[in-house]
Amino acid sequence: MKKWFMCLLMAGLIASTALAKETRKPKTQNPTPAKKVQAAPRPAQVKKEAAPAPQNEAPFQALIVMEAGTGKILEEINPHLKHPLASVTKLMTACIVMEKLQSGATQLTDKVAISAASSKMGGSQVYLKQGETFSLEELMKAVMVASGNDAAHAVAEHIAGTQEAFVEEMNKKAKSLGMNDSDFHSVHGLPPAAGQIADASSCHDLMLLSRELLKYPKLLEWTSIQTETFRDGAFIMNNHNKIIGKLPGTDGFKTGFYSNAGFNVVATAKKDGLRLVVAVLGSPSARIRDGIAIEKFKKYWAKYNMVPLAQKGQGVGEKIALPDGETQSFQAVAASDFSYPVLKEKMAAVKKELHLPREIKGGVEAGQKVGDIVFTFENETLATVDLVAPAQIKKLGFFKRMLRRIGLG
């Protein structure tokens, strides 16, 4: 009995010693997947750790840079994004006015009477009063310099009778230019009221419009004005396009802003023969918008040269024999000008190929096409320019031709 009791006591001591050793082991020596899950950080910490590294977002919604002469796009981001225009809308208003002036349908000296509706336009204005009268040119300066909503409304009424009729012309013109991302609902670009739709376009479409506007030097004369008086000096208009004062060579076009549209601009400037157009839509501030535009102008002026590849009237190639003509040879000339923006380091990559006959029978008329010159750049055809006779050269009569052939003519 005593022996049996001693065995039980020894077994108990061994078991208690083993248990004590087990409880003294560190918990991390034998972790389990369940313990890892339980030790996970709080939800807020998980979200912070799982978030991707912050990315620098572009400080605009869309941007484009174009060389104006050829329409070559040098840079574009979201070119077809349809975006509210705000007062950039007035560029299409100006386009209709310039077209009417060119056709003779209206004159800059036209007297425009201010209606009650025009006098009640809000936003940017020159504070027109019902019954006042101004010339069309005075009002167009107010539109393009001071961004006068009241002036834009008065001009539209004068030309089309109503704002609605004028807007119809704006949309019709936009379609004719291929501006398929564009819809116009006003002549001024004010924020739409409840139930109305915002005037909208894309950078791509604004480049099509810009090339059309550049046909009118008078418009650039207005958009390049920094300060102008109105109402016989009683009101001073300051151009909303501050890029004009900051970057030499800038002479257009227009800015726009309201909260849902952000800060927009379509600007154009020229340096050393290279005219660029830059559009920036949806920037968070005027300072950022203008800074981006200026940076793009400087960047591409530094990278590109505008190369005059053909000049109208300039002689090209060897003389062409004209054995039957009063003059026995002539040099063809270019029928038109052609310049192209070329990266400065790739000037040598521009090639030209002449297509001219050695001889022409009979005579030629002034301006008659006799050949062409094809310009290529890295296997891409840039343009084909016709080569023409510079003047009329009549064919000799039969007897004079015979005398010439025997050496007596």
Q: What is residue 95's predicted lDDT score, i.e. its pLDDT? A: 98
pTM summary value:
0.80
Residue 281: C-alpha distances to residues 18, 45, 293 (Å) = 77, 37, 11
Q: What is residue 7's predicted lDDT score, i.e. its pLDDT? A: 43
Which CATH code, of 2.40.70.10, 3.40.50.460, 2.60.410.10, 3.40.50.10860, is assigned to 311-405? 2.60.410.10
Residues of the chain with pLDDT under 70: 1-57, 399, 407-409
62-304 and 311-405 have identical folds: no
| Number of other residues whose CB lies within 10 A of the CB of residue 378 | 9
**Domain boundaries defined on the chain:** 62-304, 311-405
Q: What is residue 158's predicted lDDT score, i.e. its pLDDT? A: 98
Residues present in the chain in total:
409
- CB-based contacts of 198, cutoff 8 Å, min separation 6: 84, 85, 185, 191, 192, 260, 261
Q: What is residue 379's predicted lDDT score, i.e. its pLDDT? A: 86
CATH class entry, domain 62-304: alpha beta
Q: What is residue 15's predicted lDDT score, i.e. its pLDDT? A: 43
* pLDDT tens by residue, 128-173: 999 999 999 999 999 999 999 999 999 999 999 999 999 999 999 9
Residue 228: C-alpha distances to residues 98, 143, 219, 232, 235 (Å) = 20, 12, 15, 10, 9
